[in-house]
Structure 1
Amino acid sequence: MDRFADRVALVTGAAQGIGAATARRLAAEGATVAVVDLTAERAGPVVDEIVAAGGSAIAVGCDVTDPVAVDAMVDRVVTDHGRLDILVNNAGITRDNLLFRMPADDWDAVLRTNLSSMFHCCRAAQPHMVPARYGKIVNLSSRSALGNRGQVNYAAAKAGVQGLTATLAIELGPYDINVNAVAPGFVATSMTAAVAARIGVDPDEHRRQVAERTPLRRVGQPAEIAAVIAFLASDDASYVSGQTLYVNGGAR
């Protein structure tokens, strides 16, 4: 498939996990992908994989919590490639703790990285998408948006992503820009492995426990989330906007 031939995509937090899988998937379907992470060096190995497979990608370093840096990063991508068609806001961190143990700095860091960064990236992208009357924005939310013990900061940020998505769909829809969100359940990534380590559980055992209470009896893989993101970023989803799609193996 070449659903993204001649399209330019930008994926944040793309050095690993869901972001890396998304960058690979978009490139495999023809997009030129800006693989964005905190430093270009971190993004480099994913770019090397894409290029080795015959795709087109560049590594871009950017602190997406810094609006000035975001503006410069988006301007660079558009200057180098002439356009920006797809924005995938994936960058995120966790700083889990119960409310009474959570420092204000950990609240602020998660809200800044997981929510405010999306505002900065969307605001920087829209001046390029609006005149083109074309754009696909996909934001990463989470099942934790429904509430999850020990994640008051993460849950609040990911719920905010859904409100941001619904509102931007209303504001940008008249310019033929689709804005949607994906809310994964448990996905086997280095981030979820780190969460397991912090609570003193072996990552494999943690995944097994999650799989037991998931209707499909397994955890998700980054490539499965990337496939849904790719659908929402494609013209196959041309009449889908303002939605949050939960991808969680049937969990309730």
Structure 2
Amino acid sequence: MDLQLKDKVIIVTGGAKGIGEGIVRQLANEGAVPVIVGRKEADNLKLVNEITGKGQQAFQVVAELTQPESAEETISAIVSTFGRIDGLVNNAGVNDGVGLENGSYEAFVESLHKNVIHYYLMAQHALPYLKKTKGVILNIGSKVADTGQGGTSAYAASNGARNALTREWAVELLPYGIRVNAVIVAECYTPLYQTWINSLPDSEKKLEAITAKIPLEQRMTTAEEIANAAVFLLSPRSSHTTGQLIYIDGGYVHLDRAINS
């Protein structure tokens, strides 16, 4: 199926690794121009060079999105290069373990900057250009907003906000024909996930216990599976879908995991 994304300029924050990388690769496969926004130029360029080496398109901007001014600077750099923006994928973030007992005001606010404030700022600064193209916003969220996790208040709050902003923006941007959706991730094996697992005692057994509770096939969701759904939602093929939270999670959130016992 042609997803009609050829030459569409689509920003992917945190696009050099993990879920963001998967989305960037699929966009490039569809003939789009993914723009990686990430803090490490070497990581950004490694992926850009790999994609362009295959005759596909990609671009990158180095940005530290925890700094509020970086969103405007990033959008300006992209528009000065391409003159347009067709889509924005808000993806960058980290489950940083800022809890209620072990946290602080400063750590909580810092986590919000890492995980949700730049979602708002990137969308705000991209909006004038998305209006011109009737573009698309896609927010990547986490099941933590639904299930809780324990010990990660700031990340949970950020993901609750991501979900709420998805539906709020879908309403606010209806007059401009801008669609806004979210993909909600549960257990997806990314480099960050691997780092977290490795930090736990008896990490292999912990990983086995987690995957055993994923209803569909008792396995992790892959970054490619997240990317396939994301790219469809970014495409004109999903032209009447907006305000939706799409769970790509093997049934983790909504199916009773007692079925695996």
What is the number of equivalent residue pairs in this alignment? 250
CA RMSD of aligned residues (A): 1.5
Amino acid at match of 1:247: I
Following superposition of structure 1 onto structure 2, how do residues 42-191 of structure 1 map, counting pairs within 5 Å? 42-96=43-97, 98-130=99-131, 132-146=132-146, 147-191=148-192
Q: What residue number does 1:248 align with?
A: 249
Amino acid at match of 1:141: G
Deviations 1:77-110 (A, max 9, x none): 1121121001000000121154212233332222
Deviation larger for 142-151 or 23-32:
142-151
Evaluate the alpha carbon distance shift between residue 205 and residue 81 of structure 1 in structure 2; reply closer, same or farther with a 3 A threshold.
Answer: farther
Question: Which sections of structure 2, spanning at least 5 residues, go unmatched?
Answer: 254-261
TM-score computed with the length of structure 2 as normaliser: 0.91
CA distance in 1, matches of 2:127, 2:107: 30
CA distance in 2, matches of 1:98, 1:40: 31
Kept after mapping to 2: 8 A contact 1:41/1:61: no
Deviations 1:53-99 (A, max 9, x none): 22111121011222322111111111211210010000001211542
Amino acid at match of 2:142: S
Q: CA deviation at 1:152?
A: 1.4
Kept after mapping to 1: 8 A contact 2:98/2:155: no
Amino acid at match of 1:38: R
CA distance in 2, matches of 1:139, 1:201: 33
Q: What residue number does 1:214 align with?
A: 214
Deviation larger for 26-35 or 92-101:
92-101
TM-score computed with the length of structure 1 as normaliser: 0.94
CA distance in 1, matches of 2:16, 2:76: 21
CA distance in 2, matches of 1:65, 1:98: 19
Evaluate the alpha carbon distance shift between residue 206 and residue 15 of structure 1 in structure 2; reply closer, same or farther with a 3 A threshold.
Answer: farther
